[in-house]
């Protein structure tokens, strides 16, 4: 079937389309229907079916003869180790870990936080939760204790699964002190923490609360898969919003299994048994969908890679992994490719490897600039597919359905809407725009299966964040346009979210931290262009009257404070003291105008600006730190 026929079928008969897709999933009790309209623009998928995520990702493959196939390959250039776990071994390991959770009193519906680096046990932890119907929430290792504490208080986990440490090039990330610190800060206390002691660092366990990962499994009965309803939350994944409080995106089990399975062949063009690699982190949505669940649900081999595109040990690492493990489809962020290009512009490292098994490179997480796409295409000799999605959707909104029908690539566009997504470009009043006209990108409700039904314990916030601006639509927070062929172009965020190295960050959260510095009276954080990371945060600080310490001291303290409170992942390295901030007459800070000045782009003087002269002051200040250069 062609893309067009498939897409049209999903629009004309969503019920039939998704019920058919649901046949690829094993159900204890098949759903009687696909969509459940809960009223007031809330929807659920496959709500009355019974299934289990772990059974679909692991056990059924063992039963169907894939027991000896590698399920997970772990490749860690940081520790210099490689290992492989078959589906049969994975089943044993996950059932045992799930048994330990049950023995600690964790049951269906209980939350479990997972705070782990890129080791296979991170996936086993997710699958063990899925096995018993516990709701996991993975927290990225680059966040500070305070961010972990916020998540602990929001989802109130019964247990936390963590490793003793993570490994960044040249430094050990001491997870255990971060975890202990977070639990100290949080009002909610977990009953138990299971700690995976890594060779690189043994953590001190706290009596009565912490258990050793393996010791906790001794003598416990392996746990069986617990059937859960299609609308049972599989996980909560926190993501940045406009304010400092992260949003707990909920993923319901049934739709997530059905949709991810559909994408593996139709978008990523892999068949069961093929090796699929997403070089991301389990802490991000890409890691949930395409390091863990998607490939495993589909019977692929997935790669857990503990390393960086460059420096572990060199810019050939990606190509080595692809050759060595025979990767068919490879998925990473444009930043990673830019990092490789910067180190090895002529592709000399690539020439050392045989990449004949690779069929395509997939890019997502941030805007893919045409230079990067073209460079990668020339280097690899395979199609490079940009695709656009969000934590909220869990998989591609717009992409190139290469396994169904590879559409012509238009560089700069992530291609077309995927089945089930009625993507529209709206003006401020919510009217559809003509092809080629810029507007807010919205998706007509209902969203397809696998997307967020709500935010954890925050349905009002869900409505306010996504459903209110354009009634009847989901507001993506991205702006862009669609051409006459239905190709989408994603241009910018419409909110205060920025994207640094493919990591989604809230400028509002950074502003909240900066405002906590005693010498800062007012501040604004903006995302300025960065040749490697796409965007990079820059803080503008107005000091409290009477403060006359050296500015360098204050900005240095602010950089340290953001790292301590949010974490190194914020990559907040630049702050600048200014006399005043550009504002509208009603007091709104003109962040977008500051970005344009810093990036040296043309801009229209905002009609509502309070005092136009301030923009020259800002330009001069920005020039002192290397921005706004003509």
Q: Please tell me whether residue 116 binds ligand COA under the rule CB under 6 A.
A: no
537 binds, among ligand AMP, ligand COA, none (CB under 5 to 8 A by kind): none
* Part in contact with ligand AMP (CB under 6 A); list of ranges 159-167, 311-319, 382-390, 429-437: 382-390
Selection from 104, 208, 119 nearest residue 157 by Cα? 104
Residue 337 tokens read as 């490719």
Give the nearest distance from C-beta 479 to ligand AMP in angstroms.
9
For ligand COA, the binding residues in 527-546 under the rule CB under 6 A are 532-533
**Binding characters for ligand AMP, 424-463, by CB under 6 A (x = yes):** ----------------------------------------
φ, ψ of residue 313 in degrees (nearest 5): -95, -15
116 binds, among ligand AMP, ligand COA, none (CB under 5 to 8 A by kind): none
Q: Please tell me whether residue 239 binds ligand COA under the rule CB under 6 A.
A: no
* Part in contact with ligand AMP (CB under 6 A); list of ranges 139-147, 209-217, 380-388, 592-600: 380-388
For ligand COA, the binding residues in 334-353 under the rule CB under 6 A are 335-336, 339
Cα-to-chain-centroid distance, residue 432: 29
For ligand AMP, the binding residues in 297-356 under the rule CB under 6 A are none
Which helix (DSSP H) or strand (DSSP E) does residue 534 occupy? Answer: strand 534-543
571 binds, among ligand AMP, ligand COA, none (CB under 5 to 8 A by kind): ligand COA
Q: Coil, strand, or helix at residue 471?
A: coil
In the list 307, 414, 537, 582, the residue contacting ligand AMP (rule: CB under 6 A) is 414
Q: Please tell me whether residue 499 binds ligand COA under the rule CB under 6 A.
A: no
**Residue with smaller CB distance to ligand AMP, 104 or 400:** 400
- Provide the 8-state DSSP code for 273: T
d(CA 197, CA 200): 8
E runs forming strands in 247-352: 247-252, 275-278, 301-305, 327-332
Q: Coil, strand, or helix at residue 125?
A: helix
In the list 31, 365, 450, 453, the residue contacting ligand COA (rule: CB under 6 A) is 365
Sequence-separated (6 or more) residues with CB below 8 Å from residue 537: 498, 500, 505, 507, 510, 525, 526, 527, 528, 570, 571, 572, 574
Q: Please tell me whether residue 401 binds ligand COA under the rule CB under 6 A.
A: no
Sign of CA dihedral 330, 335, 338, 343: negative
For ligand COA, the binding residues in 32-91 under the rule CB under 6 A are none
Residue 120 tokens read as 């296979």
Q: Coil, strand, or helix at residue 500?
A: strand
Give the nearest distance from C-beta 407 to ligand AMP in angstroms.
15
Alpha-carbon torsion, ordered 30, 33, 39, 42, to 10 deg: 60
d(CA 41, CA 446): 7
Distances 122 to 130, 161, 379, 398, 499 between C-alpha atoms, Å: 13, 9, 33, 29, 25
Residue 31 tokens read as 């759903």
**Residue with smaller CB distance to ligand COA, 306 or 323:** 306
φ, ψ of residue 424 in degrees (nearest 5): -135, 150
* Part in contact with ligand AMP (CB under 6 A); list of ranges 256-264, 365-373, 466-474, 507-515: 365-373
Which helix (DSSP H) or strand (DSSP E) does residue 524 occupy? Answer: strand 520-530
Q: Please tell me whether residue 139 binds ligand COA under the rule CB under 6 A.
A: no
Q: Count CB-CB contacts under 10 A for residue 299.
A: 23
- Provide the 8-state DSSP code for 403: T
Q: In terms of DSSP bridges, do strands 81-86 and 70-76 run parallel, antiparallel, or are they unpaired?
A: antiparallel
Q: Please tell me whether residue 368 binds ligand AMP under the rule CB under 6 A.
A: yes
d(CA 308, CA 305): 8
d(CA 323, CA 327): 7
Site residue total, ligand AMP (CB under 6 A): 21
In the list 53, 77, 142, 347, the residue contacting ligand COA (rule: CB under 6 A) is 142
367 binds, among ligand COA, ligand AMP, none (CB under 5 to 8 A by kind): ligand AMP
581 binds, among ligand AMP, ligand COA, none (CB under 5 to 8 A by kind): none
Selection from 475, 485, 374, 390 nearest residue 436 by Cα? 485
Give the nearest distance from C-beta 464 to ligand AMP in angstroms.
17
For ligand AMP, the binding residues in 260-289 under the rule CB under 6 A are 285
265 binds, among ligand COA, ligand AMP, none (CB under 5 to 8 A by kind): none
Which helix (DSSP H) or strand (DSSP E) does residue 444 occupy? Answer: strand 439-444
Q: Please tell me whether residue 506 binds ligand AMP under the rule CB under 6 A.
A: no
Q: Please tell me whether residue 388 binds ligand AMP under the rule CB under 6 A.
A: yes
Distances 39 to 32, 446, 451, 472 between C-alpha atoms, Å: 19, 11, 17, 11
In the list 70, 233, 309, 401, the residue contacting ligand COA (rule: CB under 6 A) is 309
**Residue with smaller CB distance to ligand AMP, 211 or 249:** 249
For ligand COA, the binding residues in 263-282 under the rule CB under 6 A are 280-281
Site residue total, ligand COA (CB under 6 A): 26
Q: Please tell me whether residue 386 binds ligand AMP under the rule CB under 6 A.
A: yes
Residue written as token pair 């994408």: 263
* Part in contact with ligand COA (CB under 6 A); list of ranges 150-158, 308-316, 434-442, 483-491: 308-316
Q: Count CB-CB contacts under 10 A for residue 189.
A: 11
Give buried/exposed letters for 348-370 (b at 16+ CB in 10 A, else e): ebbeebebeebbbbbbbbbbbbe
In the list 299, 365, 420, 567, the residue contacting ligand AMP (rule: CB under 6 A) is 365
Q: Please tell me whether residue 399 binds ligand COA under the rule CB under 6 A.
A: no
168 binds, among ligand COA, ligand AMP, none (CB under 5 to 8 A by kind): ligand COA
For ligand AMP, the binding residues in 33-72 under the rule CB under 6 A are none
Q: Using CB under 6 A as the criterion, which residues of the chain lie in contact with ligand COA when the complex forms?
A: 141-142, 166, 168, 173, 280-281, 284, 286, 308-310, 333, 335-336, 339, 365, 500-503, 532-533, 568-569, 571
């Amino acid at each position: 079937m062609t893309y067009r026929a498939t897409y049209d079928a999903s629009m004309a008969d969503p019920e039939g389309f998704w019920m058919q897709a649901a046949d690829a999933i094993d159900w204890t009790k098949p759903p009687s229907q696909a969509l459940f309209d809960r009223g007031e623009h809330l929807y659920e998928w496959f709500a009355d079916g019974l299934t289990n995520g772990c059974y679909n990702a692991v056990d059924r493959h063992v039963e169907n003869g894939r027991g000896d196939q590698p399920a997970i390959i772990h490749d860690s250039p940081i520790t210099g180790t490689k290992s492989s776990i078959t589906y049969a071994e994975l089943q044993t390991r996950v059932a045992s870990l799930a048994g330990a959770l049950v023995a600690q009193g964790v049951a269906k519906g209980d939350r479990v936080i997972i705070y782990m680096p890129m080791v296979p046990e991170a996936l086993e932890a997710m699958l063990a939760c899925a096995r018993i119907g516990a709701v996991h929430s993975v927290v990225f290792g680059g966040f500070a204790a305070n961010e972990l504490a916020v998540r602990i208080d929001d989802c109130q986990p019964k247990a936390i699964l963590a490793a003793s440490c993570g490994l960044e090039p040249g430094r050990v990330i001491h997870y255990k002190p971060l975890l202990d610190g977070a639990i100290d800060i949080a009002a909610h206390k977990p009953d138990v923490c299971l700690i995976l002691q890594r060779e690189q660092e043994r953590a001190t366990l706290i009596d009565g609360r912490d258990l050793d990962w393996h010791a906790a499994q001794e003598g416990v009965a392996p746990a069986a898969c617990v059937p859960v309803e299609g609308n049972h939350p599989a996980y909560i994944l926190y993501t940045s919003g406009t304010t400092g409080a992260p949003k707990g995106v909920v993923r319901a089990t049934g739709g997530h299994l059905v949709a991810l399975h559909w994408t593996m062949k139709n978008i990523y063009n892999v068949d069961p048994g093929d090796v699929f690699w997403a070089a991301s982190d389990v802490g991000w949505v890409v890691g949930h969908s395409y390091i863990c669940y998607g490939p495993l649900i589909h019977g692929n081999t997935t790669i857990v890679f503990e390393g960086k595109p460059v420096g572990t040990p060199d810019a050939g690492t990606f190509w080595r992994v692809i050759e060595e493990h025979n990767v068919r489809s490879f998925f990473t962020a444009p930043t990673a490719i830019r990092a490789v290009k910067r180190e090895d512009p002529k592709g000399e490292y690539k020439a050392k490897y045989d990449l004949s098994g690779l069929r395509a490179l997939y890019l997502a997480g941030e805007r893919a600039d045409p230079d990067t796409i073209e460079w990668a295409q020339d280097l690899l000799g395979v199609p490079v597919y940009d695709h656009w999605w969000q934590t909220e959707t869990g998989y591609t909104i717009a992409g190139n359905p290469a396994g169904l029908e590879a559409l012509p690539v238009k560089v700069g566009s992530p291609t077309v809407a995927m089945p089930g997504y009625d993507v529209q470009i709206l003006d401020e009043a919510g009217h559809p725009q003509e092809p080629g006209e810029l507007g807010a990108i919205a998706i007509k409700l209902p969203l397809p299966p696998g997307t967020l039904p709500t935010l954890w314990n925050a349905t009002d916030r869900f409505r306010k964040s996504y459903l209110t601006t354009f009634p009847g639509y989901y507001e993506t927070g991205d702006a862009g346009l669609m051409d006459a062929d239905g190709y989408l172009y994603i241009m910018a965020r419409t909110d205060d979210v920025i994207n640094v190295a493919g990591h989604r960050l809230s400028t509002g959260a950074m502003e909240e931290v900066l405002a906590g510095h005693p010498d800062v009276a007012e501040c604004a954080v903006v995302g300025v262009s960065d040749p490697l990371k796409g965007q990079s945060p820059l803080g503008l600080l107005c000091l409290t009257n009477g403060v006359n310490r050296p500015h360098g001291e204050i900005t240095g303290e602010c950089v340290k404070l953001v790292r301590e409170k949010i974490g190194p992942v914020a990559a907040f390295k630049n702050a600048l003291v200014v006399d005043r901030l550009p504002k509208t007459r009603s007091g709104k800070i003109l962040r977008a105008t500051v970005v344009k000045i810093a990036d040296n782009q043309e801009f229209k003087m905002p009609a509502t600006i309070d005092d136009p002269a301030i923009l020259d002051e800002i330009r001069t200040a920005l020039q002192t730190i290397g921005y706004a250069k003509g």
